[in-house]
Every structure is written in structure tokens, then in C-alpha cells.
Chains A and B, each alone.
Chain A
Amino acid sequence: MPIHLFIAILTFYLMLFGAGAQASLKLPETVKVDPAALTTEPMCDPKISPAWREAQEIEGVKIEASPGCSPDNPAWIAAAVKGTNHISMETLMKTGLSPDAIIKTDDLDGDGDPDRIIIKLEIMELNGKSPDFPGVIPTFDIAPGIQPGAWVFAPKTSGMSTENFESVRANPLLRLPSPVIRVEVGDIVQIVLENTHYFPHSIHLHGVDHPFSHKDHGGNDGVPQTSERELMPGERRIYEFQARQPGTMFYHCHVQTHTHLAMGLAGMIVVEENKPNNWLQTLNIGAGHVRHPSVAVKEQFDQEYDLHYHAMDKELVEIIQKYNDPRLIARDMNQRYDATDATEDYYTLNGLSFPYTLRESLIVVEPDQKIKLRLLNSGGELIAIHTHGHHATITHYDGVEHNPVAQIMRDVFDMAPAQRLDLRLETVNDGKHSYGEGDWLIHDHREKGITTNGMAEGGSMSSIVYTSYLNGSGLPKVSHFGIDLNEFFTKEYYERRYPIWQDLDETASLGSPAGQMGVNAATQTSLLNALYGLLIGLLIYLVSAKREQIKQSAAAAVSRLKSPKGSNQ
């Protein structure tokens, strides 16, 4: 009986093969993904009011226009310039900042601006694991559907970590990158770190003139091996300095630096020249366009942008999404993660990857402008930033001015990890400084720098875009070239489920082929596997059922083998 079954299954199996062979006479049709099947996000975040783009004055603070589609909240800028202790409750409520987030007092040198600055920073986790539901919280997307676990220094906030109780999206103050800090030469600055995170951390002020140890607050260099103990959860520490030199500098956590820095605990800190009436925008939340530049910058430039390049390793940032127990996270990060095996997967500019960089990290220019760009590389590898259509001049390396007569122009700017460059970009159409108006890419020329988890188009790519190439919603005008950027604003694109060339021609010649007729390859193999299983099962059954028979025949065989041996003896 089982023998018949055996044969039947074999026949079926052969028939399957036959069907496959027949189908391959004609290759599968192209299947086009219907745009309606995609979760298309609006290209411009609808939660951000277009009124924020306009030049305006709040609390006596002049705020420059910022025509990009997601400009900074003007109330943030007013609070950062005046201090949260000098603004109305109405404005403060629009910021979400704690009333003691930025305290400015005492004009010590009598030049019309406050010289005692207290900045309170908390440490917030983004996209971490919850023990309550299978998602992450609070969410921060660096690109559609891309939510790497991250830690950031955040300005001290008030209230919830999410937009509201129903939402899992992070409060807009909790975001990558850690905010840009701006202080003046001679300011007595206290950066107060309130460690709201479940791990120990610190702040190291890379490049900023600071004492190794402070008379009141002790160790001041942020390094647990040289100057201080790790700042434990629930604790507060004051880092105090009075910088004597200006420059574009860097601050970051120095506890387990190889992971903490990469997790996002890194930001730009700018020490501006001391000038009269120099009310600085103490925090540039989210970096990017500086809408209230310092007196010194305004003297020499038309615009200023903070460009913070960063990179994250997927294997690292996923650790906080794998476990909730801090002990397990600590174990995987400190003992199991091997930084020498690390590969960076997410490249960001000002905390975001393309296409979100188009929302808020465009460098929007007019012809014949001088623009100051401050670049920081907080990634783990060298980067090579290329400005399409422009050569810019390097004026400062690591915050120190380069000899003016020796300053050079380039179109690729290589930056070692932790390096800062100040560039002067001149939009003079002379074939060298600029080739004219356009929507000119600015991107990391290591080709992986324009990928997100290895897939283009993504990474830290953005644009130097002339206002004549900006559309009404503050995005680069590309539709007149027949370009549609909508596909990038879908999570399916970055899930690698969208055949990116399907719309290049009418026939979708490079679209996605349909599966095999009848049974596709995957089901075919799984069916086959099931069949093998069945066959093995049958075989085992046969063996056990006919065990006696087999035994007997085996015994007979053995005796047959033995007998000639015996006869030989």
C-alpha cells in the first residue's frame, strides 16, 4: 500500500516540474505598482505652519525669512535669543521649552548683551523599545519609515515626550541632531546636563576653550577616565567655561564614546566673536539655517547655515529596539558590539536623510550672496562633501582661521571624524564660484553617503537651491523637468518594495516582473520541502513497520557474508 502512495507523490512532484518548464516559454508580465498602493506622505510636513517661513519679529527679536518648507519654529528662535527667562509666557508656551531651559543674565562687559548664559540639556531616547506594544517610542523618522534608535541632547523641555497622549511621535524638541549651541567669547557659560536617560553620560567640549577642572564644579572635560565619574541617571552636572577664542566646535558624550557618540549624543557648538549688542541664538534646534546670526557673521555674510553630518550603524542603533531592560542594552552595547566590525548604514544631514533633507536642510540662496557654512562631521568615517555648481573657500579648520592669503577654494571638502570646516560660499556667477542659478546638489561623494541602509536615493544629500528654483511650498522646483519626487516620500521605497525605475517609460520596461504562472518559486520550494519531508516520513514508517523483515534479511546478509569467512578459517 505505502509503495503506491510513494509512487503517487513522485508523479505529482514530476508534474510540478513540468508546469514550471512550460511557464518559462513566456517570461512573466511586468507588474506596475499602483501609486495608490503607496503610503504617500505630503512632501512638506503639514504640521508646520507656512507662516513660520516669513521674516518676522517676536519679543523684539528679528528673525530672518527661511523659505524652506519646514523652517524652525520662530518662537524657538525668540526664546533662544532672549533666553527663556526673558520672554512672555505666551511665547514660551509656543516653544515647549522649560522656563529654565536658557537663562541669560548679567551684562558683565557692559556691551549691551547678557554674558552669563545657562543652558540646560536633557538626554532623550528616540525610537526605543516599549514593553507595552511592539512599536518604538517616541518615534522620530529620519526618512519615510526609517526609525533608528537614537539618543540626543535635547533642550530642557516641559511636558510630554510625544506630541500628545494619543501620538507616539516625538515632541518636536526631541530630535536629531543634538542642538547647535551658540555662545560669545567671554560669556560665562554653564551647560547644565540633567541626565534624564537610563544610562550614564557626560559632555566633552571638543575644541571649546574650557578648564580641565572647574573650581566649583570639579572635573570639566567630560572624560570618565581622566576628569570625572560618569553622570548617572537622575543626576545633574554643570560644565562651565569662558571661551577666549571663537570658532566652530563640537560637543559630545564621552562615556563609551564609540557607541554614545554614534547614537546621536553629538552636536555643534559655536563660539562667536565678542561684539556689542550681540544677542545670539543660543540654540539652533535641528541645526540648519541660522535665522538670527551673530553681529560678526552679519558684518561679513548674507546668510549662515549649520550643517551637521552624522552617520549611524544599524546594528548599533537596533540594540535599544531589541531590549527594554537597560542591563541587556548595556551588555550588548558595551560587551558584545564590536565597533571594528561596524558599518555605517544611515547618513544624515542635520538629523535627517533624503528626502527629508529637502524639507529643512536646503541651502536657499540668491545670486551674488556670501553665505557662511559651518560643517561638522560627527560620523565615524571621513566624508567628502561635494558642492555641485560651486567652489567654496575654506576659511577655518576646526574653528581656527586659515591664513587668509593661503585660503583655498575647492568643490570637495574632505572631513575627518570630529572635524569642522567653515566655508564661504559665494553665489557669484563667474564659472568658478558659481555656474549660475539652479537646484545644485550638495552631497557626500563617497557614494554610500547618498544611500539609506545601502539604498539610494537617501543619505545626507541636500541642495544649494536658488530661490528661482524654489516652489511655493519651499521645495526645489523640479516638475518642469518631468521629475516627480513623490516616490521618495513613501515608506515602501525605503522598504525596498518599490521598483524605482518603473515610471521611466510607458511600458515600465524596467519594472517588476510578475511571479511564475501557477506556483511561484518560493511556494514551489516550500512544497518540495514538504514533499521531501513526507518521503522521509514514509521511509521511516516503512523501516519501522518492516523492521522484523529488514532485521531478518540483514541477518541473512550478515550470515551470508560471514559464512565464506568462516569457511576460509
Chain B
Amino acid sequence: MAKTIITFLLAGFVTFSASAFAQQQTKPAEHDQHDHSGHDMSQDSSGTATDHDHDHHHDHDLSAEHPIDHSDHTMSPQSAEHGDGHHHHHMDHDHIMDHEGTMIMGQNLDKLPSSCKSISQEVEITVRAGRKYAAKFPGTAFAFDQQQWQVKPCSKVTFHFVNEDNIRHQFMMHGLPKYLYKYGMFHLEVTGPKTVSGTIIVPGSDDTFLVHCDISHHMEKGMKAQLVVGKGGENIPSIPGVTPYNINDTYEAENLPKVSDKAEQNAMVRQITTFTNNNLQNYGMMLIGVLIGLLCIPLFKKILFRKKSD
């Protein structure tokens, strides 16, 4: 008895862990790092209608390299007339925003983290965001094209954030040293289809940083990733294809219509005229039952015997 119970428990555990494993296994996105040349290449390669390539929008793009000159846009007391004042750009050291809400916050072009003697490498990473990247992760709605990026400690990293949807998305990084980054945050935001770029210098120690979009339920529904510095730190949960969810939904098989149901229905219709056919099927099932029963007899015997010998 005890043995059978243990066997059942084991079987349950195996199926359980198998499903958990399956979730973890869903293809850890290849973390190919985009270097300088790769960046522009990938931009060009996807010049379809939806993919508003970088070049096309270049002059609109808000990027670290071309900060908007704010000197002639300083906010003067607003005149009552409308039609002017179309552009306002907000610029202080860590907050740049244009008239469409494209935003760079917490950028760091030159301040070296205390744990770094010098910048180890300069990297450019293109991050694409959109609904279409959620397709490879069933049960999500939005995603980045990759869920994990790796850089060396003390890298100067420029992110080119390409929003391919027609709504807002964000590339928001948390947990950066607060003496360099206000609230420990680096934040790119743009309404697509459009690109925004920003630069940070990552700390000198191994660590892993959360990257997400903070628009309500974008992170919860898939738009989540991590930046791994060096060997990385603790993994961040619920990253599609990389780490399992902390809290999992339960799934049950549903009674969905199948083509084979139709065949069965047809069989039912036929049953009225030729019910022997169906009877045959029933007899077949019965026969299988009997066979199973017969096969099980020795097993039952064994169990009974053991009991008696106990």
C-alpha cells in the first residue's frame, strides 16, 4: 500500500516538475549582443512597412548623440494664442522630453561608477518592443525582441529602443546605483513607431538589472527582461522564456470542438440505421476492458498475498 502511494506521489511530482521545467525551457532567447555594426544592419534588414527603420525617422529620433538644443525653446510665459508653442523640450541633466512625449531619463554619458577605473567597452544594443514579439511566448501580450542582454562590467552601453507598436512603450531599468542615477533608474519612453536612444555606464561588479515597460500590465503580460552585467547577479522572476513566474495560473484542458467530433457526430447519425457498427465499437471497448481486467488479476493477487503474509 505505502509503496503504491509513494509511486503515485512520485508520478505526480514528475509531471509537475516536468511542466515547471518546460516553462523554464521555452527557449532562453539567444543573447546575441549588438555591437556597433550589428545595430545598423539589423535596422536596415527590417525595412518593411511596419518597421519604420531607423534612417527614415532619424531626424525625429531623440537620441543621446543629438540632444535637442533647448536654448531657444526655454519655456516663456505662454501667449494666449494657439498654434505656436508646438514644441517643448524639457531638459535638465537627466530628463529630456520632446513634444510627443519621447523621453530619456537618467542617462549617464560620462560619470564613471566608483567601482570602475575606466570604461571597459562601448556597446550599442538595439532593443525592439512590440506586440509581435509576444507571439513566441504564448500567454503574453507585449514583449521585447530579446529578454536578456549581457555586457561587461564598466561598459558604456547605448540602447536604441525601437518601439514598433502604435502606442507607448518604455525601456525602464531599475536598481542602478542611486548616486549616479536618480531613483536608480534609467528610462526611455516613446510612442511608436519610433526610436529613442540613451546611454548609461554600468557598474563594475557582477549584477543583474530589471528591464521592463511600466505601462499598466505590460510587464505582467510579457514586457520584461534583464541586463546581465558580467556574470550577473540574482535572476529576475517572470521573464518570458528566461525565468519562471512566481505565481502561475492553472490550466485545464477544455472541451473545444474538434474535427474528429464531427466524425463522431456522423457516426451517431449512422447509428440509427446501422447500429451494429456502433455496437461493435462498444463490444470492442468491453473486450479491451476484459483484457485489462485479466492482465490485472495477477497484480491484485500479489497485493492480496502480500497483505496476508503481513
Chain A residues with CB under 8 Å of chain B are 59-60, 82-83, 85-90, 92-93, 98-100, 104-107, 114, 122, 124-126, 128-134, 137-138, 156, 158-162, 164-165, 170, 174, 194-198, 232-236, 323-328, 331
Contacts and interface: CB of A to CB of B under 8 A. Distances in A.
Contacts of A93: 90
Given A125-B217, A159-B103, A161-B216, 19 more contacts: A82-B82, A85-B99, A89-B97, A99-B88, A99-B97, A130-B220, A132-B247, A133-B246, A138-B216, A158-B103, A158-B189, A159-B187, A159-B189, A194-B168, A196-B218, A197-B216, A235-B167, A324-B247, A328-B249
Counting chain A CB atoms within 10 Å of each CB, the highest count among B130, B172, B187, B217 belongs to B217
B166 A324 contact: no
Nearest to A112: B80
B98 interface: yes
Contacts of B100: 98-100
30 contacts: A85-B82, A89-B75, A89-B90, A90-B75, A92-B88, A98-B191, A99-B97, A99-B101, A100-B100, A122-B215, A130-B220, A130-B247, A131-B246, A132-B237, A134-B247, A138-B216, A158-B189, A160-B214, A161-B215, A165-B185, A195-B167, A197-B216, A233-B131, A233-B141, A233-B142, A234-B142, A235-B167, A324-B139, A325-B139, A326-B140
Nearest to B163: A234
Contact of A194 (B142, B167, B185): B167
B167 A122 contact: yes
A128 B216 contact: yes
Nearest to A130: B220
Contacts of A85: 82, 85-86, 99
Contacts of A197: 216-217
A124 B217 CA distance: 8
Contacts of A326: 139-141, 221
Interface in B67-88: 75, 77-78, 80, 82-83, 85-86, 88
A89 B138 CA distance: 41
B67 to A, nearest CB: 16
A131 B218 contact: no
Contacts of A83: 82
B191 A131 contact: no
Interface in B92-126: 97-101, 103
A440 B245 CA distance: 51
Contact of B167 (A114, A165, A196): A196
Interface string B240-268: 00000111110100100000000000000
A39 B207 CA distance: 39
Interface residues of B, number: 51
B82 A105 contact: yes
Given A86-B78, A132-B246, A161-B216, A98 B85 contact: no
B53 interface: no
Nearest to A101: B101
A133 B247 contact: yes
Nearest to B222: A198
B238 interface: yes
B61 interface: no
Contacts of B130: 234
Contacts of A325: 139, 249, 251
A138 B215 CA distance: 10
Interface in B149-163: none
B183 interface: yes
Nearest to A193: B167
B82 A104 contact: yes
B145 interface: no
Interface string B188-204: 01010000000000000
B309 to A, nearest CB: 14
A87 B78 contact: yes
Contacts of B251: 325, 328
Contacts of A125: 216-217
Nearest to B76: A88
A254 to B, nearest CB: 20
